[in-house]
Amino acid sequence: DAMVIQNPRYQVTQFGKPVTLSCSQTLNHNVMYWYQQKSSQAPKLLFHYYDKDFNNEADTPDNFQSRRPNTSFCFLDIRSPGLGDAAMYLCATSSASGLAGWETQYFGPGTRLLVL
Amino acid sequence: AQSVTQPDIHITVSEGASLELRCNYSYGATPYLFWYVQSPGQGLQLLLKYFSGDTLVQGIKGFEAEFKRSQSSFNLRKPSVHWSDAAEYFCAVGTGGGNKLTFGTGTQLKVEL
């Protein structure tokens, strides 16, 4: 089945130690998103890739970076995790046409990050 | 800027009872509207969506939602709730220009047996 896969499902890191979260998709979608969801809050968009074009949200901290080496994979890098970065990180994909068309976003199961 | 309001943070219903979860949106153009469900520790699953056409949309798991432009609402309904429906429900609006989702703060549904 076509799907969005996130690894690992749980990640523990130390304060200040760089960490990378992974997302892959078999849907061949051209848009990939990263959301941060803190406990009991709505998902918050950090950034997205439209094909190879990176689009950062204005309020996303510089501590968060992303890479998309190919259509299938996208990575979220947290350069120096703080305690406040502990959250669920959700990856999503969609197939946007670029003609103001709108396609549904499909979410992965998420990676829960714990910062010690 | 677009926004989504889900006025009920928590709702408790008995199994077999009907359910309505409220969602109000603010957006200048025709909205793209979604309901997602999230079980504990899991990602978001799409229940249903409204892009255009019939204002009553059917989704998975027996859910439906009605788009009411005059009320800026997109309420989610289910005629008979099952214990497995206990989860958090998020309403979201999508912007056509940026393909972005803005979520409401969610409604936590508890089902009493």
**CB contacts, 8 Å: B7 with chain A:** none
Q: Given the DSSP bridges, would you call strands A73-78 and A31-37 parallel, antiparallel or unpaired?
A: unpaired
The whole-number average pLDDT for the span B22-27 is 93
Closest partner CB to A109 (pick from B36, B42, B51) = B42
* Neighbouring residues of A77: CB distance < 8 A, sequence distance ≥ 6: A18, A19, A20, A64, A65, A66, A67
Given a cut of 90, whether residue A99 has pLDDT beyond it is no
The neighbouring-strand residues paired with A85 are none
**pLDDT tens digits along B26-74:** 987 778 899 999 998 788 999 999 988 889 999 999 999 999 999 999 9
| Residues B71-111: tens digit of each pLDDT | 999 999 999 999 999 999 999 998 755 578 899 999 999 99
pLDDT at B30: 76
- Minimal CA–CA distance to A1: which of A38, A30, A34, A27? A27
Amino acid A2: pLDDT: 62
Q: Which two tokens stand for residue B104?
A: 């409401």
Q: How far is A84 from chain B (nearest CA, A)?
A: 19
> B18: burial class by Cβ within 10 Å (0-12, 13-18, 19+)?
exposed
Q: How big is chain B by its Cα radius of gyration, in Å?
A: 13
Do B36 and B90 meet the contact criterion of CB atoms below 8 Å apart? yes
Q: Would you state the pLDDT for residue B24?
A: 96
Closest to A65 measured CA to CA, from A51, A84, A85, A83: A85
Q: Are B88 and B112 in contact (CB under 8 A)?
A: no
**B23 CA to chain A: closest CA distance, Å?**
14
pLDDT at A98: 56
Q: How confident is the model over A15-69, as pLDDT tens digits?
A: 999 999 999 999 999 999 999 999 888 899 999 999 999 999 999 999 999 999 9
- From chain B, the residues in CB contact with A6 under 8 A are 43
Cβ-defined contact of B105 to A112 (cutoff 8 Å): no
Average pLDDT over residues B7-32: 92
Q: Find, in chain B, the residue whose alpha carbon is nearest to that of A10.
A: B41
For chain A, the average pLDDT equals 91
Cβ contacts of A108 on chain B, cutoff 8 Å: 43
Task: Say what the pLDDT of residue B98 is.
Answer: 56
Residues of B in contact with A36 (CB under 8 A): none
Nearest CB partner across the interface for B42, out of A96, A103, A110: A110
Q: What is the pLDDT of residue A90?
A: 95
Q: Which of B41, B42, B90 sits opposite A42 (nearest CB)?
A: B90
Q: Which of B45, B99, B103 sits opposite A96 (nearest CB)?
A: B99
Model pLDDT, residue B53: 85
Cross-chain residue pair B99–A110, CB shorter than 8 Å = no
- Chain A CA closest to residue B10: A40
Task: Please report the pLDDT score of residue B40 as a whole number.
Answer: 84
Confidence of residue B2 (pLDDT cuts 50, 70, 90): confident
